[in-house]
C-alpha cells in the first residue's frame, strides 16, 4: 500500500515509520525544508524511544521517504493521512487552518481515487468540512475518514502498534470525533483526580 503522511511531528513521523515497518511504502510530507533536509540525512527531529532505529531502517530499505511536496505525496499515494498541528487558540478552540490548507492542496493534487484520513486532533464535524473543501477542488472520487491520534510521548510506537484505532477500525467520522473528545476529557479528569489525591496525601501525611 502507498501511504502519504502530511506532517512530520510526533504523530506524523511515528505513524509514517510504523506504517513503513508494516511493509507499506510511505511518503512523509512537511513544509519545513530544514526538517525534511535533516530527515533525508538521517537526523531525527524528535525523540521517541526506538524511533530513530525505526525511521533509519525503513529509510535505508526505501520504504520511507521524505519530501516538502504535498503534490508529489498525494499523486504517489492511495491513502493520505493529515497529521498537522491544531494549536489551541485564545478562546479555547482549535486552529484548523493547517488542516484546511492541506485539504485544499490535496483536492488540487488528486489524480485518482484516494482515501483521506484525518489524524489531527480536531473537533466533531471537521471531517465533513475537509470533505467539502476537497470536493470543491476536484472531480475525482475520494472518501474521508477519521482516525484520531491517541499519542503518548515516550510510548508512541508501542501505542501505535498496539492500538486497533491506528490500524483498521474506521467508524463513521462523528463517532471517531466523539470517541476522541470523550477520551481526552476522561484523561484530563483522571489526571486532576490523582493530583488532588496527591495533595490530600501530603496534607494528612498519608503514604499510598
Task: Please give the pLDDT value at position 201.
Answer: 72
> Of 95, 16, 116, 103, nearest to 58 (Cα)?
16
Task: Rounding to the nearest 10 degrees, give the CA dihedral for residues 105, 56, 47, 19.
Answer: 50
Q: Which domains does the chain have, with CATH numbers?
A: 2-171 (3.40.50.720)
Q: What is the pLDDT along the chain (208 residues), one digit of tens a residue?
A: 899 999 999 889 999 999 999 999 999 999 999 999 999 998 998 888 888 999 999 999 999 999 999 999 999 999 999 999 999 999 989 999 999 999 999 999 999 999 999 998 888 889 999 999 999 999 999 999 988 775 555 544 444 444 444 444 445 565 555 555 655 665 666 666 667 777 777 777 766 5
Cα 103 from Cα 106, distance rounded (Å)? 5
Q: For residue 151, what pLDDT is reported?
A: 56
CA 44 to chain centre: 17
Please work out, in degrees rounded to the nearest 5, the angle formed at the alpha carbon of residue 143 by the alpha carbons of 139 and 144: 120
DSSP string, 23-49: T-EEEEE-S-HHHHHHHHTT--SS--T
Rounded Cα distance between 132 and 202, Å, is 53
Amino acid at each position: 500500500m502507498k501511504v502519504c503522511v502530511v506532517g512530520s511531528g510526533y504523530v506524523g513521523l511515528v505513524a509514517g515509520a510504523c506504517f513503513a515497518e508494516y511493509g507499506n511504502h510511505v511518503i512523509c510530507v512537511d513544509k519545513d525544508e530544514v526538517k525534511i533536509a535533516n530527515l533525508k540525512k538521517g537526523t531525527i527531529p524528535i525523540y521517541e524511544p526506538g524511533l530513530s532505529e525505526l525511521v533509519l531502517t525503513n529509510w535505508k530499505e526505501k520504504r520511507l521517504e521524505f519530501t516538502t511536496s504535498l503534490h508529489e505525496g498525494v499523486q504517489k499515494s492511495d491513502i493520505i493521512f493529515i497529521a498537522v498541528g491544531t494549536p489551541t487558540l485564545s478562546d479555547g478552540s482549535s486552529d484548523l487552518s493547517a488542516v484546511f490548507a492541506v485539504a485544499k492542496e490535496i483536492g488540487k493534487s488528486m489524480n485518482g481515487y484516494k482515501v483521506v484520513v484525518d489524524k489531527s486532533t480536531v473537533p466533531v464535524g471537521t471531517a465533513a468540512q475537509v470533505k467539502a473543501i476537497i470536493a470543491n477542488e476536484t472531480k475525482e472520487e475520494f472518501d474521508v475518514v477519521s482516525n484520531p491520534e491517541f499519542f503518548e510521548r515516550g510510548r508512541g510506537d508501542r501505542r501505535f502498534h498496539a492500538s486497533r484505532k491506528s490500524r483498521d477500525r474506521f467508524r463513521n467520522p462523528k463517532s471517531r470525533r466523539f470517541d476522541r473528545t470523550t477520551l481526552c476529557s476522561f484523561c484530563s479528569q483522571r489526571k486532576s483526580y490523582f493530583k488532588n489525591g496527591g495533595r490530600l496525601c501530603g496534607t494528612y501525611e498519608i503514604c499510598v
